[in-house]
Structure 1
């Protein structure tokens, strides 16, 4: 065995010590980065206890807080879609929040204004379309969940008349009514979907009146795109079925709610905040679907839903994930019977985001 010279031994020890220090510093740097606090804020148009849109958004906020201990997460609710919201976004930026989520379409221009004033803060706007270096948008392909819940409605109507209570005739709502109708017609070609507007995201009194008018017109299944559960509760009072939206609404009307499309924002929020924290965030327009962290999905079913219907919906859900089913693939006709999407063709994202026509089978008007 060869002897190790004393000088070589000293050199070797020095190298080992230096290596240990370098690795230790790297680990310390990583730990410091992982544990560095980041302030995040959410802004909601309505109350978080509405069991609808704002409730689902707040569940995503809670998921973020639970899965990112280094995130200091706060929220402000009941912020109207007016200039008052601009003041709220400004105050949140001034308080040191590094990521601010605005969760309703009406905040768009106000967030654009505030983002210009705070270039080091990341603003994320839900369902909008305007972006900048520090302003991104995000939304879910809610039409996928709507199509599946349409199947649920189509399989459970006996009158073949389904009521839909909607707030406004903006593209987001029109797209969802169309997808819902196409889903219902895929299992029941005789279905008609009657639409009534409330001109508000949340107006319980008007929603109840609209629901009763649709039931009086023969609807035995009610769907909606609103922030409250009023339509579901009114449906239960009248002894008909309901299709929920945004979150699981069975607890509010257990005898009526068949199921419905739901939101699952949590995983997306974690991914976004982590990207900001590690410096990899880039502005863009995110539009995720069932196969993207299931940001939108079909919710739990009520006990009245049969196993064969559950199996069918599960199969179609998988077909969406596998790209075997595209909700807006032709042939699709509009209300007047005009061919809008030819066989083998599909609506592009741009066309879906700006859609301003109802499919055949929808009874309702669109404001121009």
Structure 2
């Protein structure tokens, strides 16, 4: 047994955490999660990055800002409000770039911050505490230092205590010293609308932080829920003045993939699929590392444990892409299930009722598609009494295991 362990150790096939990071399966999961995060940000920017056209017309050519998923307009609005150029350099903000290229440099900067976070997390707790204290102290000194120094110096010079705001004499007003830190904070807030999930997502993927993954998911889901509520007219009227561009109330005509989905539904399905792929792939990496971390040292070089872990890892990879593909197809079918039912009924018994229902605009509304998805779930829940789903799933699983055995035999060969 020790000889076999030494052979496995010499071949690099161990379950130590450092060697686990270099496995192609782990790297593939992390790359897939990163690509899903990038695709998610690009899709959300194109779908939720525009302001309402009436709000744009009211701006009359001046700088404007609305809480959309876009940051360059916000930076320009901050510059106009403070009457000063942006404090953050353009290479960080992406201002001056066109389209999706404005996301490139800020995303690279987030990647550099992720690397810095990874380096800091490997240091001892005392050094990390000193780094945090140093960062906070530097921010306070540069933010409030000039203001406090000028205020205290004024009170010492003129030998009186006064409030540094709203004084008749200009020499007693020091609030201008706070404009610079306020502008920096405003620029960070505008950048955080888009790049907070990017930064937390990268930290979660590459630094194996489940809290960062959950923070990214929570932010994106809350943003999607808020925009989904804007499809209701009562909610839209209450936030009419902030300039958000709501989604259309109608899902649109199904013209893509053989009449299966509409362009709007395809974009929404894309967001949900890449969000699901991001969470599952990143969460899978973290679970695998947690499993290995709990193994005793002797098991990490045991060939049997290594073989079992390899099988579990390959199974997770195949199941991930299989489940994502199946979920994508079933979601598209569920959104169009009402039309499928009406088409089937019309073929077997054409009548005026089926034509009227097919032409109804209610089915194209958002809640109409929710009803369609509910009918789809109801149909398949009733179909379990007619279709032996366990037998069907067992057949697919046997095919999958056969493919797994052939791959394992090829690897051993």
TM-score when normalising by structure 1 = 0.21
TM-score when normalising by structure 2 = 0.19
Greater fraction strand: 1
Greater fraction helix: 2
Which structure is higher in RCO with an 8 Å CA cutoff and minimum separation 6?
A: 2
